[in-house]
Structure 1
Amino acid sequence: MPTSPPVHHRQLKAEHRAPAVIAILVALALYVTLPSAFYPPLRYVVAGIAFVMLVPAVILNPRRMNRETRWSKYLSAGQAGLLAAANLFALVELIQQLVTGSSTDGPRLLLAALQVWLTQIIAYALIFWELDRGGPVTRRHAERRSLPHADFRFPQDEDADADAVKEVASGSSEKTGWVASYFDYFYFSLTNSMAFSPTDTMPLTTRAKALMALESASGFILLGLVIARAVSLLH
């Protein structure tokens, strides 16, 4: 059976800006609307800085991710890191309140836990999206042979194996030039936060494993305390 040669020169459409922008705005809304006990002035400052950082990135690529400069790459990665760090600080405060808060605070804290958890998923998805294979612009526009080393291995990266059926192999990254979009990293972040381990996507680098470990550990601690809190509310 004839097989298609690997794709080196790719004609991929640039990734759309909207999914990442919507995710950032949702995360900022979740973060800003945390209960008043979560240091409102700090939250407003962080959200304001993150929003200001978003503006030049959108101006540079208003619809599709076609252009990238050194400052825009640092700005986008810094924004994702800021959101993750701020949410981690909120997680620490949430843990303290879950452990020491009164029973009347239960429903409010459970809602806050959901907000922190969702923000965490979005923030880590943004980090993964910005880091893997040079980021969203490089992944789509650079020749595959010149792409930076991958931080993550997706199922499509393996679908060209000899054992794969034709309809699976024909959609592999080797045959089609496929690369992940923001939603792929969001799904990956969601499953990592729920399963506390890799599912269909595997980490390949130390930094990828460290980030996944931090997200999984944070989600595990949060889930354990939320379950304990919910049980205490039922008694």
Structure 2
Amino acid sequence: MSSPSEPAAEYPGGHRMERLAHEVTDDVLAAEQRLPSWLRPGAPESRIPVLIALLAAIGLQLSIPPQFNLTPRWPLPALEFALLVVLVILNPVRLTRSTTIGRWATYLLIAAITADNTISAALLNYKIVSGQMGDNPRVLLGSGLAIFITNVIVFGMWYWEFDRGGPFARHTTKRPYPDFMFPQMANPELAPPDWRPKFPDYLYVSFTNVVAFSPTDTMPLSRWAKMLMTLQSMVALSTVALVLARAVNILS
């Protein structure tokens, strides 16, 4: 009797089993190649665009005058910067290491920026409506612009973090149903073979949502995506409308 250490070729049917194993492997690879590129496992996403956007959001928060904040200016940006350092330590250049600490630190960081910016927008709107804004158009327009840009960045972060489970989950096949339908998904022949949505795509979705106050080329599919886009449009519309109306009144 042959020992288990002998080559498979010495068994009766050994070549056949080896051939079947190769055929199964080839079938799996062929099936994977038939999947759309955004559903196939891919290379980890770069940290750099996300890092630049977060630093810009923190910087914009610091530029908003103290009269539009409920708390002292420095503690919240300091916390956000500390959380950002943690995220960079976990994944310095590419998002290759998924951890519970990193996920919750990301949620806390985005939530802190969202809450601070929404409160600033509400205070700005209240002061305009109640006549407490004053007649300084530079403060008015500068504050409104900072809130507007931060709104674009932070909701782009939410869309990027939640779509199909986030940047780590999107590189697996565990979450096949997308929360956003990008044009490249419906028309794969118009995109490179390895295309998949990345942070700049979600940032663009966020920008077009606040400019058009509705979806443009990318459609929200899940309920949470629709609710977030609604909330973002409400914050942007109220702020832009009141800021522009007050600015026109001052300048005229």
> Where on the TM-score scale, by shorter chain, does this alignment land: which range?
0.7 to 0.9
Amino acid at match of 2:226: K
Correspondent of 1:153 among 181, 186, 191: 181
Give the percent of matched residue pairs that are identical in Structure 1 and Structure 2. Answer: 35
Offset at residue 96 of structure 1 (A):
1.6
Structure 2: stretches of 5+ with no match in the other structure? 1-32
Q: Provide the rounded CA distance (Å) in 1 between the counterparts of 2:195 and 2:134.
A: 51
Stretch of structure 1 that moved more, 120-129 or 225-234: 225-234
> For 1:7-66, what per-residue CA distance to the aligned partner results, in whole angstroms no more than 9, with x for missing partners?
478452211101111100100000011113123843322111111111111111100011
Offset at residue 103 of structure 1 (A):
4.4
Stretch of structure 1 that moved more, 41-50 or 61-70: 41-50
Q: Secondary structure at the match of 2:168?
A: helix
Correspondent of 1:104 among 131, 135, 145: 135
**Structure 1 residues 7-26: aligned runs within 5 Å:** 7=36, 10=40, 12-26=42-56
Correspondent of 1:34 among 44, 50, 64: 64
Task: Verify the 8 A CA contact 1:129 1:181 in the aligned structure 2.
Answer: yes
Task: Verify the 8 A CA contact 2:66 2:73 in the aligned structure 1.
Answer: no
Correspondent of 2:156 among 109, 125, 129: 125
Correspondent of 1:180 among 187, 194, 197: 197
Stretch of structure 1 that moved more, 73-82 or 52-61: 73-82
**Structure 1 residues 31-180: aligned runs within 5 Å:** 31-39=61-69, 41-99=71-129, 100-140=131-171, 142-143=172-173, 146-147=174-175, 149-160=177-188, 167-168=189-190, 171=191, 176=193, 178-180=195-197
2:210 pairs with 1:193: yes
Amino acid at match of 1:61: N
Correspondent of 2:227 among 204, 207, 210: 210
Q: Provide the rounded CA distance (Å) in 1 between the counterparts of 2:222 and 2:72.
A: 33
Task: Verify the 8 A CA contact 2:114 2:151 in the aligned structure 1.
Answer: yes
Q: Provide the rounded CA distance (Å) in 2 between the counterparts of 1:24 and 1:5.
A: 36
Q: Provide the rounded CA distance (Å) in 1 between the counterparts of 2:133 and 2:63.
A: 21
Q: What is aligned with 1:164? A: none
> For 1:43-95, what per-residue CA distance to the aligned partner results, in whole angstroms no more than 9, with x for missing partners?
32211111111111111110001110122112112211221111000101111
Q: Provide the rounded CA distance (Å) in 1 between the counterparts of 2:73 and 2:164.
A: 31
Q: Provide the rounded CA distance (Å) in 2 between the counterparts of 1:132 and 1:157.
A: 14
Q: Provide the rounded CA distance (Å) in 1 between the counterparts of 2:248 and 2:239.
A: 14
Q: Provide the rounded CA distance (Å) in 2 between the counterparts of 1:187 and 1:32.
A: 24
- Structure label with greater radius of gyration: 2
Offset at residue 114 of structure 1 (A):
0.3
Q: How many residues align?
A: 218
Structure 1: stretches of 5+ with no match in the other structure? 161-166
TM-score by length of structure 1 reads 0.86
Kindly report the root-mean-square deviation, in angstroms, between the aligned alpha carbons of the 2 structures. 2.0
